Amino acid sequence: MDISSVIASELGISRRQVDSVRALLDEGCTIPFIARYRKEATGGLDDVTLRDLDERLAYLEGLEARKAEVLRAIDEQGKLTADLRVKVEEATVLQRVEDLYKPFRKKRATRASKAREAGLEPLASLILAQDPHGVDPAAVAARYVNASAGYATAADALQGARDIVAEVIADDAENVADLRSFTRRSGALEARGADEEAQVAYAAYCDFSEGLGRVPGHRVLAVNRGEREGRLKVRVRVDGAAAVERLERRVVRRRSPAAPVLEEAVADGYKRLIAPSLEREMRAELTERAEADAIRVFAKNVEGLLRQRPVRGARILALDPGYRTGCKAAVIDEYGRLLDRGTVYPTPPRCETAQTKRALADWVRRHGVDTIVIGNGAGSRETEEVVAGFIEESGLDVRYTIVNEAGASVYSASELASQEHPDLDVTTRGALSLGRRLQDPLAELVKIPPQSIGVGQYQHDLDQAELGRVLAGVVERVVNAVGVDLNTASASLLGYVAGVSGTVARNIVAYRDEHGPFRSRRDLKRVPKLGPKAFQNCAGFLRIPDGDDALDATGVHPESYDVARAVLRRAGVGPEALRNGGVAGLAARVGDVGALAAELGVGEPTLRDILAELEKPGRDPRDDAPPVVFSRSVRDVADLAPGMELTGTVRNVVDFGAFVDIGVKQDGLVHVSKMVDRFVRHPTEVVTVGDTVTVWVTAVDQQRGRISLTMVKGRE
Q: Is residue 233 part of a domain?
A: no
Examine the pLDDT at 633 and tell me if it is beyond 60: no
Looking at residue 678, what is its pLDDT? 86
Mean pLDDT in residue range 5-14: 96
Mean pLDDT in residue range 187-206: 89
- Pairing mode, strands 371-375 and 316-320: parallel
- What distance in Å separates the CA atoms of residue 155 and residue 138, rounded to the nearest whole number? 8
Q: What is the mean pLDDT of the chain?
A: 91
Same domain (yes/no): 695, 564: no
Same domain (yes/no): 564, 457: no
Same domain (yes/no): 349, 280: no
Lowest mean pLDDT among 165-169, 191-195, 541-545, 622-626: 622-626
Q: CATH code at 141?
A: 1.10.3500.10
pLDDT digits (tens, 9 = 90+) for 482-525: 999 999 898 989 999 999 999 999 999 999 999 999 999 999 99
Same domain (yes/no): 337, 451: yes
Looking at residue 428, what is its pLDDT? 87
Tallying the residues shown for the chain, one arrives at 716
Q: Is residue 217 part of a domain?
A: no
222 DSSP assignment: H
pLDDT digits (tens, 9 = 90+) for 275-319: 999 999 999 999 999 999 888 888 888 888 888 889 988 999 999
| Torsion sign, CA atoms 538, 539, 544, 550 | negative
Residue-wise DSSP of 231-283: SEEEEEE--HHHHHHHHHHHH--S--TTHHHHHHHHHHIIIIIIHHHHHHHHH
Q: Is residue 593 part of a domain?
A: yes
Q: Is residue 208 part of a domain?
A: no
Burial of residue 678 (number of CB atoms within 10 Å: 0-12, 13-18, 19+): exposed
Q: Which of 99, 263, 111 is nearest to 171 (CA)?
A: 99
Same domain (yes/no): 519, 598: yes
Q: What percent of the chain shows pLDDT beyond 70?
A: 98
- What distance in Å separates the CA atoms of residue 145 and residue 695, rounded to the nearest whole number? 79
Examine the pLDDT at 634 and tell me if it is beyond 70: no
Gyration radius from the chain CA atoms: 33
Q: Is residue 213 part of a domain?
A: no
Q: Which of 624, 645, 663 is the C-terminal boundary of a domain? A: 624
Longest dimension (CA), the chain: 105
Give the other-Cβ count within 10 Å of 260's Cβ. 14
- What distance in Å separates the CA atoms of residue 552 and residue 487, rounded to the nearest whole number? 12
Q: What percent of the chain shows pLDDT beyond 90?
A: 64
- What distance in Å separates the CA atoms of residue 430 and residue 412, rounded to the nearest whole number? 5
Looking at residue 663, what is its pLDDT? 73
Q: Is residue 577 part of a domain?
A: yes
Looking at residue 368, what is its pLDDT? 94
Same domain (yes/no): 616, 701: no
Same domain (yes/no): 22, 161: no
Same domain (yes/no): 694, 614: no
- What distance in Å separates the CA atoms of residue 8 and residue 19, rounded to the nearest whole number? 9
Same domain (yes/no): 27, 124: no
Same domain (yes/no): 127, 85: no
Q: Is residue 284 part of a domain?
A: yes
Q: CATH code at 27?
A: 1.10.10.650
pLDDT digits (tens, 9 = 90+) for 40-65: 999 999 999 999 999 999 999 999 99
Indicate the number of domains in the chain.
5
Give the other-Cβ count within 10 Å of 421's Cβ. 16
Looking at residue 456, what is its pLDDT? 67
* Angle 120-124-129 from CA coordinates, rounded to 5°: 145
Same domain (yes/no): 375, 443: yes
Same domain (yes/no): 368, 276: no
Q: Which domain covers residue 169, as residue numbers?
A: 111-187+238-297
Residues whose CB falls within 8 Å of the CB of residue 527, separated by 6 or more in sequence, listed in order: 504, 507, 508, 511
Looking at residue 406, what is its pLDDT? 79
Mean pLDDT in residue range 394-420: 85
Q: Which of 55, 86, 104 is the C-terminal boundary of a domain? A: 104
Looking at residue 90, what is its pLDDT? 94
Q: Which of 104, 129, 146 is the C-terminal boundary of a domain? A: 104
Q: CATH code at 700?
A: 2.40.50.140
Looking at residue 539, what is its pLDDT? 96
Mean pLDDT in residue range 667-689: 89
Q: Is residue 207 part of a domain?
A: no
Looking at residue 635, what is its pLDDT? 60
